[in-house]
Structure 1
Amino acid sequence: MEWLKEGNELIPLSWFKDMREQAPLSYDAEHNSWDAFRYEDIKAIFTNHEHFSSQLNDTAEVPIDASILFLDPPKHRQLRMLVSRAFTPQVIEGLAPKITAISHELCDQIEQRGRMDVLHDFASPLPMIVIAEMLGIPASDRLQFREWSNALVGTSYDAFIQCQQEMSEYFTAIANGRRAAPQQDLISSLVHTHVDGEQLTDLEIIGFCVLLLVAGNETTTNLISSAMLCFDSEPSAREQLAADPSLFPTAIEEVLRYCSPVQKMSRRVKQATELCGQSLEPGQQVDIWIGSANHDPAVFESPNTFNIHRSPNPHLAFGHGIHFCLGAQLARLEARIALRILFERFANFRRDQSHMLERAESSMIFGLKSLPFFIA
């Protein structure tokens, strides 16, 4: 795609290729850590939680450390069982009318302006509104949510720590209010539900809220914006989708593979083990490059070709194993509804080519700083 050639690659496909071929498991002596690049190795790391722990720190230093994202069994199983009640297929499908209504409201506002920044005017507010309503957060706080979300996946450690301190205070106040006066929202469920006879701690509740804010926002925001970028760049795919909207589900899977919203995750070596002929020692960190795995030619034919008909498409964009993304179905539903409505409302959309694309400042997440489009 032409946007990969604007300056440096927005997604470092050439670097991924070199590392898969020359150093599929690369050791970083300065940090005593490893980087994994091949699909099968990364899938194995995801699956083997006996040797590769999701718990990167011995204690929960910040709230997100107490979320299911950074826990191993059996605690992971207990907490996932609780929150999964809010993400059953029936609950998620029941959100379709609301997602549709929000999408049209955002499009109405875009029509009045006469152009759109796909990221800021649509892809960002849609999932933010949905997850905020699920949690029971006032509409007036959504802008603050976005700022916190950016800080959580950004490159500034100070901002990462500060936003979690602010979120701890914010969600503690909300949780205390729900204990006294429960409502029909997820935070009320978290504070009043027992898991194996025990209530969640305040830190666990806050960790859930922080995780859902990021997972419910960043992944879907970047999935929708990346999809519009890809479809605008591939006229044939765009024409086929406009003629046959039933192709959107497989096209979305290809966007997830090609522009994986989560490019990297980490694990900590729990027990001494071997991988790719290398000896990994307890305590070492392994960064697993999902973006590289999803372009591995050993698994995907012509991996650098964007193909909306790709099948099978066993990408790892949502992880694998016990940590497979709990919100995957919600992200897919939001993207499917949102993209169909954008195609219907703005059939003549085209990217503003005068705007240089810039990647958001995050090594973990793939997203753009802005994505201006003409709509007529």
Structure 2
Amino acid sequence: MPVVNPRFGVLSEDFAASPYRYFARLREQAPVHYEPAIDSYFLSRYREVKRVLTDHEAFTTETLQVRAEPVMRGLILAQMTGAEHTAKRKIVVRGFTGQALQDQIRAIHANAVELIAPFLPRGRMDLVNDFGRPLALYVTLDVLGLEKKDWQQVAAWHSGVVEFITSFILTPERRRHCMDCAEQLEAYLVPVIEKRRRDPGVITVLARSAASTASTTAP
């Protein structure tokens, strides 16, 4: 994979202001772009991205695990590899098959109708902000059995967690904000998880699986 270091940097303010105009140039001239300031590589072509995501012998998620630990308190599915990833993925997939899948399809359709309805008289909408983002949160909350009335607050907390994990440069103020979002999201979810350990649902399956894994791996 050729490594080319173009004159612009993906961490620059210019790139952040309008990244899309650089994507074609990155794919053509720097499919593997190196940023010396943070000793990191950025991939812009499907072939290279696929290799990194599937070649577990050459590449690892350990760096992401370290970055995410302060706000995630442990591994998420995207950070797992090998047998651990396969086992956890099978648990999650069970909630997306058969009758459960059919119920989710109906719920997604209902959510889409609900979100679009207020914009029909206007004849226009922002596809991402007015529909895409809230729909993703609505569907996620439905799957987990959480209250949709809290979707904006959950989205704000989640954004803070994502910012912490994906941002390479965080000011002390932004870092404190992200940590506060993680703590508030945890405080919101812990009582739900404890309740769902006893009641059926996707969170119950995941919670019981996590507890089982912890007990079998504990010294």
- What is the aligned partner in structure 2 of residue 359 from structure 1? none
Match of 2:36 among 14, 29, 45: 29
- What is the aligned partner in structure 2 of residue 44 from structure 1? 51
Match of 2:143 among 119, 134, 148: 134
- What is the aligned partner in structure 2 of residue 177 from structure 1? 195
AA in 1 matched with 2:199: P
AA in 1 matched with 2:157: W
- Tell whether the 8 Å contact from 1:191 to 1:200 is kept in structure 2 after alignment: no
How many aligned residue pairs are there? 190
- What is the aligned partner in structure 1 of residue 180 from structure 2? 162
Give 1:11 deviation, angstroms: 6.5
- What is the aligned partner in structure 2 of residue 149 from structure 1? 158
Match of 1:87 among 75, 96, 114: 96
Give 1:68 deviation, angstroms: 1.0
AA in 2 matched with 1:97: R
SS at match of 1:95: helix
Equivalent-residue separation in structure 2 for 1:84 and 1:105 (angstroms): 27
1:202-213 alignment runs, 5 A limit: none
CA deviations on 1:294-350 (whole Å, 9 max, x unpaired) are xxxxxxxxxxxxxxxxxxxxxxxxxxxxxxxxxxxxxxxxxxxxxxxxxxxxxxxxx
SS at match of 2:69: coil
Aligned residues with identical type, % of pairs: 26
Residues 142 and 18 of structure 1: CA distance in aligned 2, closer, same or farther (over 3 Å): closer
CA deviations on 1:112-134 (whole Å, 9 max, x unpaired) are 66754444443333232221121
More strand by share: 1
Does residue 191 (structure 1) correspond to residue 215 (structure 2)? The answer is no
Any stretches of 5+ residues in structure 2 without a counterpart?
Answer: 1-13, 168-173, 215-219
Give 1:89 deviation, angstroms: 6.4
Give 1:175 deviation, angstroms: 1.1
Equivalent-residue separation in structure 2 for 1:21 and 1:114 (angstroms): 39
Equivalent-residue separation in structure 2 for 1:37 and 1:80 (angstroms): 27
Equivalent-residue separation in structure 2 for 1:117 and 1:153 (angstroms): 22
- What is the aligned partner in structure 1 of residue 25 from structure 2? 18
Any stretches of 5+ residues in structure 1 without a counterpart?
Answer: 1-6, 202-376
Equivalent-residue separation in structure 2 for 1:182 and 1:125 (angstroms): 27
- Tell whether the 8 Å contact from 1:55 to 1:71 is kept in structure 2 after alignment: no
Residues 121 and 79 of structure 1: CA distance in aligned 2, closer, same or farther (over 3 Å): same
Equivalent-residue separation in structure 2 for 1:13 and 1:111 (angstroms): 30
Equivalent-residue separation in structure 1 for 2:27 and 2:120 (angstroms): 45
RMSD value, Cα:
3.2
- Tell whether the 8 Å contact from 2:43 to 2:49 is kept in structure 1 after alignment: yes
Residues 90 and 51 of structure 1: CA distance in aligned 2, closer, same or farther (over 3 Å): farther
- Tell whether the 8 Å contact from 2:33 to 2:43 is kept in structure 1 after alignment: yes
Give 1:53 deviation, angstroms: 0.9
CA deviations on 1:167-214 (whole Å, 9 max, x unpaired) are 2222111111223x414x21122223x47xx6255xxxxxxxxxxxxx
1:1-376 alignment runs, 5 A limit: 12-56=19-63, 57-58=65-66, 60-63=69-72, 65-88=74-97, 91-111=100-120, 116-154=125-163, 155=167, 156-179=174-197, 181-183=198-200, 185-192=201-208, 194=209, 199-200=212-213
- Tell whether the 8 Å contact from 2:15 to 2:22 is kept in structure 1 after alignment: no
SS at match of 2:82: coil
CA deviations on 1:1-58 (whole Å, 9 max, x unpaired) are xxxxxx9898635423333333332332221222233332222212201111123235
Residues 87 and 11 of structure 1: CA distance in aligned 2, closer, same or farther (over 3 Å): farther
Residues 165 and 14 of structure 1: CA distance in aligned 2, closer, same or farther (over 3 Å): same
AA in 1 matched with 2:161: L
CA deviations on 1:220-263 (whole Å, 9 max, x unpaired) are xxxxxxxxxxxxxxxxxxxxxxxxxxxxxxxxxxxxxxxxxxxx
SS at match of 1:131: helix
More helix by share: 2
